[in-house]
Structure 1
Amino acid sequence: MEPQDYEIVDIPENRIKFFGGSGKMLLPGPATIEAFIKNIPEHQLLTTDLLRKKLTEQFQVQGTCPVTTRKSLQTVAHDTGKRVAYWRLINTNGTLISHFPGGVEGHAALLRQEGFTIDTQGKTPKVQAFKESLTRFE
């Protein structure tokens, strides 16, 4: 049996307002994030907020730590030994994630390979009409 790749902890006092109350918080590890990403179909996207929301539901906790999620996502993205489609994750507003390998340019290139159009007019590139491509987990 593999060791647990996540922790469920009490929400710290200074984060209760952020999570909307006290309770338990998920600290997802890279394997937890990787397993979730593998469920995102090709040509579909998921925002980082939706990822945390779905993990919160799956683990039946009050919330999922955004900092730990980001760090675990970075670990998955930079693991050259595995080919996990981390590029299917975008920020909540559709912008690309700068801490992925190759920065936003690398992220854009991988998304374009899947047929997405990238709008480069703003300060940060974003996926055009990204809401139409958000995956729906039932």
Structure 2
Amino acid sequence: MNAIEPSQPLQPAPSRRIVPRTRRQQRRHPNRAIAIETTAKLAVNVVLSSAAIAALVQLLPYHLSQQAKLGEIREEVKRTEKRVNRLSNNFSRYFDPQQAKSVMQEQSHRVDPSQRQVVWLDNNTTDE
């Protein structure tokens, strides 16, 4: 019983060597999936941003031309409003019974018989 048993050479288990290698690979890149996902999100956002910028660049000339047209229309509206106000004042003046006589004189170039005509003469002129 006390006899010495022949010793068998100890061989390391192959599973021990394989397990540390896989663990080492996992330790080297523990955030690899997160990095890939973040890179993909960043690439998609860059593509979408560039598409939005390209669309804005194409819309900018159209917007500027529309603003110029709007400015022209506003100026035309101002001119038309002035004209309408002037015509409205003239209309109310033409149909005012108190001013009918003066309006008729302006339009017909006739003078009221009771009114005297005044002719201005220049005093500085000398007859030679």
Q: TM-score, normalised by structure 2?
A: 0.16
Q: Which has the higher helix share?
A: 2
Output the TM-score relative to the length of structure 1. 0.15
